Structure 1
Amino acid sequence: MQHLAQYVEVIQQPNSNPLLHIIKHEQLENSHDDVHLQSSSEKFYFNDGTVIQKEIEQDDLPAEVESCSECWIQYQVLQHPPTLKVSPHKVQFNSHCREQYWLKYFK
């Protein structure tokens, strides 16, 4: 069993794991001008057959504070090989700070 954090780490730092790497990347970005919202959806295809989808939604308004602004981040396992289970299947965060804390915790 592989932990989802291993894949997220490779998504953020492609050379962090010599055995795991991204072989294909698809990206779709949307902008909703009427509500000042940006969203993106990305699919990452890994050399072991796993496919991870990353979705982000956040305001495009300037932040008043330079700390960790609120946004919605989700990683979901779309596919994995029959001999390999990736767990958890899905994880969500409400800021990049929480995402980074989660990564450090499972490193």
Structure 2
Amino acid sequence: MNHLAQYVDAIQQMSIKQSSKIIKRESKQVVEQESDTEVLFSTELYYFVDGAVIEKNIEQDQINIQIEACLESWIQYKVIQQPDADKISPLKIEFNSHCRESHWVKYFK
């Protein structure tokens, strides 16, 4: 059984360098005005060499802050398609910040 954290780690590494585990990435972003704040909605699909497809959704306020902070955001990873060989577990995970997401990946890595 494969842990979802392995796939999330590959997705995070892709932003640093090209990952050999990911063969395709599709993304869509929308910015909406809610009250006095702009909110970014992002959906990305990642297609892996082993046949897995993982969806990543992010909802985050667009706030200009000068310091590094662990801003509140809604992040969700969901298994859309299982790989041919092993199953992925858990099938879905949600975080309320990028800090929690990073900690979870490091814990299960």
TM-score bucket of the superposed structures, by smaller chain:
0.7 to 0.9
Distance 1:65 1:25 in 2: 30
Q: Using structure 1 for the length normalisation, give the TM-score.
A: 0.88
Distance 1:34 1:92 in 2: 22
Equivalent residues of 1:63, 1:69 under 8 A apart: no
- Structure 2 unmatched runs, 5+: none
2:99 matched to 1:97? yes
Paired residues in the alignment total 105
Cα distance, 1:67 vs structure 2: 1.9
Distance 1:92 1:99 in 2: 8
Distance 2:61 2:87 in 1: 34
Cα distance, 1:2 vs structure 2: 0.3
Cα distance, 1:84 vs structure 2: 1.6
Closer, same or farther: CA 42–58 of 1 in aligned 2, 3 Å? same
2:55 matched to 1:53? yes
Q: Output the aligned Cα RMSD.
A: 2.1
Partner of residue 83 from structure 1, selected from 65, 81, 85: 85
- Structure 1 unmatched runs, 5+: none
Identity of aligned residues (%): 50
Distance 2:12 2:63 in 1: 24
The list of structure 1 runs, each at least 4 consecutive aligned residues, that deviate by more than 3 angstroms after superposition, is: 63-66
